[in-house]
């Protein structure tokens, strides 16, 4: 692996029993980048993340993280190595308070002052969590639970954040807010991200590079700028929104140059 590559999957094959979910998938994630994986339901997107985080062991292929092979490692080891996974459906600890959920995210750490500082930082990113700090997580709205799930993952101070469908079940307004924070964390903290998302418009507006998955195989890969120009992407994933997404990316570039 070159120094710029943080994560590399090489010819990965993973299955659920007799059902093969991903077939020879290879991809790379550069340090500091946001990379997205697009595809329909059942294409194998979630399986890729589960294979990286150790929830699923691949039958073939290798997963390299920061120059080290990590496939078939326990999820706990993977977290300690520097990878946090925000699963589809949020999956917070519903009977624990918001603050205790954040502390669970820091279970691998022993630096009390650092943990306290990071909780304050999470409250800065997600002010509603400060207001709900003593409330049981199961009583939060869907959008608030998604914020908590992301904040809990960040409490481990990961170098790579795996995000599985962060917009699932959220309103367009909440989705826009969540992705604004995702961009902010990437820019301010330098956290590398691998994003699985069915909302192709916002995924391509957020990420730097993208892979398109169909029936467990990568069928297309390119920068998000170039993917937005491809007729197949515009027709099957963006439709009439393609022009609007390109405009959003242009606006984001202008904002960065100001």
> Residue 229: which CATH number?
3.40.50.300
Domains held by the chain: number: 1
What pLDDT sits at residue 161?
98
What pLDDT sits at residue 202?
92
**Beta-strand relationship, 209-214 and 217-223:** antiparallel
State yes or no: pLDDT of 242 exceeds 50: no
Q: Is residue 148 part of a domain?
A: no
State yes or no: pLDDT of 181 exceeds 60: yes
State yes or no: pLDDT of 245 exceeds 60: no
Q: Is residue 230 part of a domain?
A: yes
Parent domain of 224: 5-90+158-257
Please write the tens of the pLDDT for every residue from 221-240. 999 999 988 888 887 777 64
What pLDDT sits at residue 198?
84
Q: Is residue 225 part of a domain?
A: yes
pLDDT > 70: percent of the chain: 91
Please write the tens of the pLDDT for every residue from 33-76. 999 999 888 889 999 999 999 999 999 999 999 999 999 999 99
Write out the chain in H/E/C secondary structure: CCCCEEEEEEEEEEEECCEEEEEEEEEEEECCCEEEEECCCCCCHHHHHHHHHCCCCCCEEEEEECCEECCCCCHHHHHHHCEEEECCCCCCCCCCEHHHHHHHHCCCCCCHHHHHHHHHHHHHHCHHHHHCCCCEHHHCCHHHHHHHHHHHHHCCCCCEEEEECCCCCCCHHHHHHHHHHHHHHHHHHCCEEEEECCCHHHHHHHCCEEEEEECCEEEEEEEHHHHCCCHHHHHHHHHHHHHHHHHHHHHHHHHHHC
Average pLDDT over residues 16-41: 93
Q: Is residue 133 part of a domain?
A: no
Q: Is residue 218 part of a domain?
A: yes
What pLDDT sits at residue 85?
97
What pLDDT sits at residue 240?
45
Q: Is residue 132 part of a domain?
A: no
Q: Is residue 128 part of a domain?
A: no
Q: Is residue 146 part of a domain?
A: no
């Amino acid at each position: 692996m070159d120094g710029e590559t943080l994560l590399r999957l090489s010819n990965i094959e993973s299955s659920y029993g007799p059902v093969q979910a991903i077939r020879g998938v290879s991809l790379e994630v550069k340090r500091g980048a946001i990379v997205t994986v697009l595809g329909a339901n059942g294409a194998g997107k979630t399986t890729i993340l589960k294979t990286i985080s150790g929830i699923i062991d691949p039958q073939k292929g290798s997963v390299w993280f920061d120059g080290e092979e990590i496939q078939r490692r326990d999820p706990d080891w993977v977290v300690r190595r520097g990878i946090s996974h925000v699963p589809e459906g949020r999956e917070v600890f519903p009977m624990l308070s918001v603050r205790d959920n954040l502390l669970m995210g820091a279970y691998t750490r022993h630096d009390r002052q650092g943990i306290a500082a990071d909780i304050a930082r999470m409250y800065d990113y997600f002010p509603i969590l400060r207001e709900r700090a003593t409330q049981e997580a199961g009583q939060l709205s869907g959008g608030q639970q998604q914020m908590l799930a992301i904040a809990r993952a960040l409490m481990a101070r990961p170098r790579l954040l795996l995000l599985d469908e962060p917009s699932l079940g959220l309103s367009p307004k909440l989705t826009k807010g969540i992705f604004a924070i995702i961009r902010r964390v990437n820019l301010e903290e330098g956290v590398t991200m691998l994003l699985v998302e069915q909302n192709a418009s916002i995924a391509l507006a957020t990420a730097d590079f993208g892979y398109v998955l169909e029936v467990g195989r990568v069928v297309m890969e390119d920068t998000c700028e170039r993917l937005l120009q491809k007729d197949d992407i515009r027709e099957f994933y963006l439709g009439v929104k393609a022009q609007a997404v390109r405009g959003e990316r242009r606006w984001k570039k202008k904002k960065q140059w100001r």
